[in-house]
Amino acid sequence: MSKHYAVFGSPITHSQSPRIHAAFAKQTGIGMDYVAIEANHDDFRAKLDASGVVGANITLPLKEDAFALCAGNVSARALRAGAVNTVLRDGAQWRGDNTDGLGLVRDLTERHGLDLRGRRTLLLGAGGAARGVAPALLDAGIHSLYVINRNSARADALVDAMGEPGRTHARAWDTLPALGEFDLLINATSASRGGQLPSLAMALVAPRSVAVDLSYGEAAVPFLAWARAAGCAQTVDGLGMLVEQAAESFLLWHGVRPDTGAVFAELSGRADALLTAD
């Protein structure tokens, strides 16, 4: 019998997660169904409990809600992040993990061939998405991490949670022009989902800079267009990260890590795609 899984968030109609997990299930021969469920802060817990799923992915804006829902029953990496993107039913409770950071680092280093070591890094945003990737970036060897958020208290809280005051720094948005050049610039805000991009100084970009948007599709266009105009050497959207974090979630649920190359190729529309697009 197929077990039930889902992704919860808002907006959720654009999500590629059902397609990704369907491909993983077909590849591994595991019986499962996976759907997208619209949920917000006020109804997330009720919809999760009523859904009948044994596992779920959590996306914007619910990753910190999911952390609170798991009430301390979380992995070490989720505890460090203060955010959960993957849950697994644990009796009457939920157990939480966070695969975002591992997914991002795996995509950047293995798929795009980037050496993250020694990179001065700018992280725009301090919500659940930013919290998920910050610990993994530090563990991957970046030189320093500057966290910028319009709500400075949230940036301060993220930096404090990392426990590395010599490498992590919270800064106000209006200080951006004075911060100098960054080797890695990551957009973890949701602002560009509405086609709006906060003002960014082109002086932030160095000759070898890489710009990454944790969103994909149309939501990633404004930031990556700015990055190319500013002279970034490389731009990367969040599709590869999405596939890689999904594979880690699949591993947690089923004990098998699927091959991500074919699925990424299909979703990205590459000519060498090994799966047939629907």
Quote the longest CA-to-CA distance of the chain: 58
Tokens of 188: 């973890």
DSSP character at residue 57: E
Tokens of 221: 């266009």
For every residue of 8-43, DSSP letters joined together read EESS-TT--HHHHHHHHHHHHT--EEEEEEE--TTT
Contact predicate 114/48, CB 8 Å: no
Sign of CA dihedral 130, 68, 247, 25: negative
Nearest 5°: phi and psi at 113? 70, 30
Tokens of 152: 């400075």
| Residue 3 falls in the annotated catalytic set | no
Radius of gyration of the chain (CA): 18
Of 3, 26, 47, 63, which residue is the catalytic one? 63
Tokens of 137: 């970036």
| Residues labelled as active-site residues | 63
